[in-house]
Amino acid sequence: MWQPSSARWDIPKHLRPWLNDPGSLTARLNALGRAPIKVQVLRQSWGRPRLSEARTLGLRTSKTCLIREVVLYGPRQQPWVFARSLFPAASLTGALRHLRQLDSRPLGGYLFTHARLGRSKLQLALIPPTGIIPAALQGDTSLWGRRSVFTLYGKKLLVSETFLPDLEQTLQRNT
């Protein structure tokens, strides 16, 4: 399902610059909406990564991660992005221990303030309506997503971002 962004993809024109942008999605969304995005935490709990997530992080599937799922809202409470972040337990120590209590703050707003932030190459996917994303957000359509591994203070975390229909409509109108 997840493939390198360099793979041959038939990505809609209005989404290409967004899916392939290595910068802060939070900053782009703030600029698009001309206001700070709102973050709603849907779930934050300890659990095991999915097989592809474990492989991407270089973990065994038996390792425990803090899993955070949020919705990023644009103006007029439009759900724009579903994000799933995995923080391996070993990554939530030292300078990154406070990431356990992000609450409704955007993760990108924190990560991209660090000059020494590392980021893997982006992976993309066209995500079918299979229950990975809450049905109320996805409906019965496939959605485009991207993910990458961030490295900060020698510790890794995985961030997946799925672009929801309201964001796609906004981008189409602005193209």
pLDDT of residue 174: 81
Phi-psi region of 33 (alpha: psi -120 to 50; beta: other; left: phi over 0): alpha
Instruction: Assign 117 to helix, strand or coil.
Output: coil
pLDDT of residue 31: 94
Q: How many domains does the chain have?
A: 1
Domain with 118 in it: what CATH number?
3.40.1410.10
Give the pTM.
0.95
Residues of the domain holding 13: 3-174
68 is in an annotated binding site: yes
pLDDT of residue 129: 93
Query: Per-residue confidence of the chain (175 residues) as pLDDT tens digits?
Result: 898 888 888 899 999 999 999 999 999 999 999 999 999 999 999 999 999 999 999 999 999 999 999 999 999 899 999 999 999 999 999 989 989 988 899 998 889 988 889 999 999 999 999 888 999 999 999 999 999 999 999 999 999 999 999 999 999 988 7
pLDDT of residue 7: 80
Phi-psi region of 58 (alpha: psi -120 to 50; beta: other; left: phi over 0): left
pLDDT of residue 114: 87
43 is in an annotated binding site: no
Q: Which has the closest alpha carbon to 114: 101, 96, 91, 88? A: 96
pLDDT of residue 84: 97
161 is in an annotated binding site: yes
d(CA 39, CA 30): 12
pLDDT of residue 173: 87
Asked if residues 168 and 15 have their Cβ atoms less than 8 Å apart, the reply is yes
* DSSP-assigned letters across all residues of 40-85: EEEEEEEEPPPHHHHHHHT--TTS-EEEEEEEEE-GGG-EEEEEEE
Q: Which has the closest alpha carbon to 51: 109, 107, 1, 112? A: 1
Asked if residues 29 and 79 have their Cβ atoms less than 8 Å apart, the reply is no
